[in-house]
A and B are shown apart, each in its own frame.
Chain A
Amino acid sequence: MANEFGATAAADRPSPSPESAAGHTTEEQLAALLAKAYVLADGLSKRTGEREVQRYEDQISGLRIENSGLEDRCNQLIRQHAAMVMLFVSSERLHASLESREVATSIWEILVNLVGAEEFCIAVRDGEGKDVPFELVRCEQVDEARARASLTKDPLVTRALEEGNVVIATEPATVSHEDGAPGAIAAVPLRMTDASGEAYNLGVIVVFKLLDHKRELAAEDGDVLSLLGGHAATAFVGANAYARLHRKVRTMESLMNLLKK
């Protein structure tokens, strides 16, 4: 049977001599056998080495693929964690104050630093009731006239207010207003549910432009905007209720002081 070097066992044996036939091996035969053994060992060693190297290379290649997969997964988890942190921080900040102005500042901070919005406005109904018109409480790098016009004329804003959901433009804003400026790229209705269980829009956030290096709104940005839609409304309602209560308490205190006098 042929061995791995292609020679038969019989062929590897030295040819028999009179001495070997008698059970003896000459020095020449031993030397030839030894030389052949060295050659075989050398070949064996090389081939075994090559196989080992190949095996290790295959292992390294497999580990590289596994490592790359783990790195991708790790980065994905880091991004998920960052998205959760964004939501947590947004929620925490929105409810950190009972001042309407502070609530608007928190929304501004979230939109600029976490979402990457550059031009936007925040509008809230100035008083109780669903028919009270929106009043601008903050305009960031957008003039008031354009912001005010978008509240009633921009189709994206109208759709968001009608549907009660965040609407993000799927294509670059092309809607032109009277001043030639493009329309909104996202609208966030600030939704609230009244005592009768009916939902209404307390206000709206309109985003006109993102920072130059921010190409588009990602899924996690959509989540933050949705959270703003719900939590910003309750934060404003809480702040307004607190302000009303505070005014009443002060009036009562003044009355009490007058009565005491």
Chain B
Amino acid sequence: MAKRRILVVDDTETVLMFQKLSLGPEYDYDTAKNGLKALEVARTRKPDLILLDLEMPEMDGLAFLRSLREDAALEDVPVIVCTTKNTPTHVKAAFDAGCSEFCAKPIDRVDLGKKVRRLLGEKGG
């Protein structure tokens, strides 16, 4: 069976590396450092799930999320927002824009793993 593809969107190399390594080799990964690049990658290689930071240059996470939900081919892709901005305002804005789950940084790996598996319909989610 082909591996599921996860698109990790974050402007810091540290987070891209950390999320790929901590979720492990059971998935394939694409990465992008801003919303514009992420849209381009998502349209080229439709991901099964997206891990998304909110604060990024060029196009931030919320703008990316709104564009994603307006794209008929990508509107159903589950998105987990991973951010240090964990205020009720940020959480509400993320869900209003169409995110499926919310994780506060620093990421709790067990929590993230469960959310990823649940959204991908895998066991242990």
Number of A-B contacts (CB under 8 A): 58
B109, A109: Cβ atoms under 8 Å? no
A212 at interface, CB cutoff 8 A: yes
B110, A110: Cβ atoms under 8 Å? no
How many whole Å from A218's CB to the nearest CB in chain B? 10
Selecting from B12-20, B26-34, B44-52, B57-65, the interface stretch reads: B12-20
A85, B22: Cβ atoms under 8 Å? yes
**Taking chain A's interface residues, is the majority helix, strand, or loop, or is none over half, making it mixed?**
helix
How many whole Å from B52's CB to the nearest CB in chain A? 14
A113-B12, A116-B105 known; A79 vs B110 contact (CB < 8 Å): yes
Q: CA A106 – CA B109 in complex, angstroms?
A: 21
A112, B84: Cβ atoms under 8 Å? yes
B84, A89: Cβ atoms under 8 Å? no
Residue of B nearest to A106 (CB): B14
Interface string of A203-222 (1 = CB under 8 A from B): 00000000111100000000
Chain B interface, number of residues (Cβ within 8 angstroms) = 17
Interface string of B84-125 (1 = CB under 8 A from A): 101100000000000000001110011001000000000000
Residue numbers in B under 8 Å from A213 (CB-CB): 86, 104
B84, A85: Cβ atoms under 8 Å? no
B21 at interface, CB cutoff 8 A: yes
Give the contact-size bracket for chain A. Answer: 20 to 34
A82, A92, A115: the one within 8 Å of B17 (CB): A92
Residue numbers in B under 8 Å from A118 (CB-CB): 84
Residue of A nearest to B106 (CB): A116
Q: CA A80 – CA B87 in complex, angstroms?
A: 28
Q: CA A85 – CA B22 in complex, angstroms?
A: 6
B17, B86, B106, B113: the one within 8 Å of A212 (CB): B86
Chain B residues near A (Cβ < 8 Å):
12-15, 17-18, 21-22, 84, 86-87, 104-106, 109-110, 113
